[in-house]
Structure 1
Amino acid sequence: MINTMTSSGGTAVQDLPKVASGVELAKSQIQAERYRGEKIKTIGGIEIRWVKAVKMGPPGADITTASVKACYDTSKARAVDSTGKTIRVPGTPTRWLDNRDLQLIGGVWKVVKGKNQGASC
């Protein structure tokens, strides 16, 4: 959904509540607002290198929370301004380690907390 939102310049946000809640939904909506305001969009996509579950919970009950870790590559994606000029700051990492906490909300898994960092994964 984030790829869809960023490639649309922050206008395709209707599905964000289907995949995120709480702080993560608010962060995504703020990012979309910034993309619209600064007339930024992305061209190209990210490549997911790997994903793994790192925690499921609560133990001994129905699983309603999970944590996942993923490595993704943004080298084929570009953020551009309204003139098409690349706005990536030199030295920005192109490999990212992403950690996300998910929660089962109304029968749907949603991201509720997350953090990413540049990493050689």
Structure 2
Amino acid sequence: MLRRLTTTAALVGFTAALTACGPNNPKPPPFTPSAPTSAPSTTPPTVSAPQKEAGDGAQAGYRAYLAAVTATQASGGTKDAQLSQVATGPILKSELEQATIFRKRKWRGTGQIVVIWTKPLKTGTVGQDGHIDEVTVQACFDSSKSITVDAAGKSVKKPGTPTRWLDEMQMRRDGDVWKAHFGVNKAAKC
């Protein structure tokens, strides 16, 4: 995608490991409730109601943002008014610039971006109003079905351009709407 500031820094470390499985033991042992264990607890952290509400809202806002970007690109950049409903700050500026490029070059987007998964990566603190106003959403998306074409209908995608992306988007609550504010993405096998 030609849309955001990118970084080459790793966004997240993968820490899950299945120690009970291996080449000599392809199946995990049966669960025995009374068996002692020295493994660290795998209980997920407790999520408060405001955290869950904010995380769910931010993820829905992220998906709405991607849908609006896709629609703007499909219009050749002419229908960019919807971007201000799903984005703010640096991302809004970047997407409006991208829409201008599409108009000037007579490009348009075809196909859809497929969101493979999303999750709240970092949640802000609960404010005095009982709400959380900032959540960083991490997402994996596939852009292989989303192609930008020129006026003649030929792809402008350079050969070898990655199609899987790991995105980290800071979402901010604006009233009852979650908007994309700042993000980084990198090509990844996610």
TMscore range, shorter length: over 0.9
Partner of 1:14: 81
Partner of 1:98: 167
Match of 1:38 among 105, 122, 134: 105
Higher strand share: 1
Partner of 1:111: 180
Unmatched 5+ stretches in structure 1: none
Tell me, what secondary structure is at the counterpart of 2:158?
Answer: coil
Match of 1:77 among 146, 151, 154: 146
Partner of 1:120: 189
Partner of 1:67: 136
Output one character per residue of 1:24-43: Cα deviation in whole Å (capped at 9) or x when no partner.
11001000000001111111
In structure 2, how many angstroms separate the alpha carbons of the residues matched to 1:86 and 1:116? 22
> What percent identity do the matched residue pairs reach?
40
Structure 1 residue 59: deviation in Å? Answer: 4.9
Give the stretch that moved more between structures: 64-73 or 52-61. Answer: 52-61
In structure 2, how many angstroms separate the alpha carbons of the residues matched to 1:70 and 1:20? 16
In structure 2, how many angstroms separate the alpha carbons of the residues matched to 1:27 and 1:109? 18
In structure 2, how many angstroms separate the alpha carbons of the residues matched to 1:20 and 1:11? 17
Following superposition, which runs of at least 4 residues in structure 1 exceed 3 angstroms of deviation? none
- Residue type matched to 2:147 in 1? R
Tell me, what secondary structure is at the counterpart of 1:15?
Answer: helix
Unmatched 5+ stretches in structure 2: 1-67
Structure 1 residue 106: deviation in Å? Answer: 2.8
Partner of 1:56: 123
Bigger-Rg structure (1/2):
2
